[in-house]
Amino acid sequence: MKLCQLPLLLLLISNIHSGHTKEIPKPRVTIKPDHHVFRGETVTLRCDIDGEGVTSWRYNWHKDGSTSVFSERQEHTFSSATESDAGKYFCNGTETEGSRSSQHSDEVTLTVSLSIAVLSVSPQMWMTEGDPVTLNCEVNGSSTGWTFSWFTKTVSGSRNDYELLSDSSRGAGGKYTVSSAALKHTGVYVCRAERGKPAYKTEYSNTQPLWVTGVSPPVSLIISPSRTQHFTSVSLSLSCEDQSNSDGWTVRRYTNSGRLEDCSSLRWASQKGSTCTIRSTDPWDTGVYWCQSESGENYQHVNITVHTGVILESPVHPVTEGDNLTLRCFYPYISPPKLRADFYKDGSLIQNQTTEMIIPTFSKRHEGFYYCKHPERGKSPKSWISVRGSHSESQISVLKILSSVLAACPYLIVTVVLIYKCCRMRGKTPQ
């Protein structure tokens, strides 16, 4: 006979001698809110024993196989759990007014870790007006009992704050869905999860930007030098220009470190009117830049990369469909800096050993990530190059609208004349 079976045998003999031949009950252990909880959460262990004819039990809690009892309550609560509370728990009981005893329950494992809310986007963070998008918020390693809140990251001077979305309830179930993106949805988002009473809240998640491009933005972001990739330790100018040459625009950026900043708050930059000048570029200046109006609208988002090595010269804004695209490769430590290099699209070689690559009649099928590579100097970062509708398409659209209006005019005129005649005839009808 195994030694581990001996206590149960002795318990059975004891119960028989006491005149109790009923089945020995086995307790059940439950953990609320979940077997996996997070540092600071309130956790309750509960022991339930269904023993026929027994009205009251004295409970014994054990941890990690120990014979010592750390609690004698049916429910044991950790008001603020820590990693030291993690472990394997089991319970057993003895009759308060009698001699009956229960078996040991099965062990249950409690895991305690640091809570992390993780935010992601589907299908992508770069969109055009009207595209659908979904933000997904998850808590690492747990999916039980959470409700979610959604925030946008805002900037005030050099400080970042979080503003609760007015329609935050849209994020029930960990998903915040926008069926048709508009310019107002552009922003930097975070989420947070909570559960239990009193409510336990996770920290804010990682930041997730959404960039929505308008069809006809009221302002243009002019970048000098006019490219998306730049050398280090050079001057970079970004200007917001609208038709009235207004000074009511602010250049703002979101860096790879998740920082949201105004140009005027940057150490090596200054803003004069609607022009931001970075006096000496640094890899930390890599990020998305845009123009923000005085009323808070965001326009003309451009992804800028500052790199210490090889860079790709590519257009700042989407290429108009039908136009030619010219790409060049540069290296800052030679004169002239232009390189003879290989050019790639989405990881595939498309042209080798050339000083510039020209794609005639750029179209939707040419969209993708481009970079260049030199066998000795290395390769550039990737740049996303997209297409926008041609000028002829815009003209055709205007002509279609005008032709529709003109085609409808005769019908409108006839309808108005008929209504007028009908009204006059009714007025002449004798009473």
Average pLDDT, the chain: 84
75: phi then psi, degrees, rounded to nearest 5: -115, 130
**Over the stretch 291-346, which tens digit does the pLDDT of each residue have?**
988 888 888 899 999 999 999 999 998 899 999 999 999 999 999 999 999 999 99
- What percent of the residues of the chain are helix, what percent strand, and what percent coil, each to the nearest 5? 15, 45, 40
Section 352-375 average pLDDT: 95
Report the candidate in 50, 63, 68 with the shortest Cα–Cα distance to residue 90: 63
Q: What is the pLDDT of residue 425?
A: 54
Q: What is the pLDDT of residue 390?
A: 66
| CA 253 – CA 238 distance, rounded (Å) | 11
Residue 140 vs residue 373, higher pLDDT: 373
Q: What is the pLDDT of residue 313?
A: 96
| Torsion from C-alpha of 400, 243, 271, 294, nearest 10 degrees | -70
Residue 397, pLDDT above cutoff 90: no
6: phi then psi, degrees, rounded to nearest 5: -65, -45
**Over the stretch 132-174, which tens digit does the pLDDT of each residue have?**
999 999 998 888 889 999 999 988 766 788 999 988 766 667 9
CB neighbours of 29 closer than 8 A, spacing ≥ 6?
45, 46, 47, 48, 89, 90, 91, 105, 106, 108
Polymer length of the chain: 431
- pLDDT band per the 50, 70, 90 thresholds, residue 217: confident
What's the half-sphere exposure (Cβ side, CA atoms, 13 Å) at 226? 8
Region of poorest pLDDT, from 212-226, 298-312, 395-409: 395-409
What's the half-sphere exposure (Cβ side, CA atoms, 13 Å) at 54? 23
Residue 228, pLDDT above cutoff 90: yes
141 conformational bin, left if phi > 0, alpha if psi -120 to 50, beta if neither: left
Residue 187, pLDDT above cutoff 70: yes
Q: Which long-range contacts (CB under 8 A, 24 or more apart) does 46-51 make?
A: 46/74, 46/75, 47/74, 47/75, 47/91, 47/93, 47/105, 48/74, 49/25, 49/93, 49/102, 50/25, 51/25, 51/93, 51/95, 51/100, 51/102
Residue 183, pLDDT above cutoff 90: no
Report the range out of 61-75, 89-103, 260-274 with the highest average pLDDT.
61-75
Section 180-185 average pLDDT: 90
Structure tokens at 194: 């909570």
Strand partners, 236: 278
Residue 430, pLDDT above cutoff 50: no
CB neighbours of 163 closer than 8 A, spacing ≥ 6?
151, 152, 153, 154
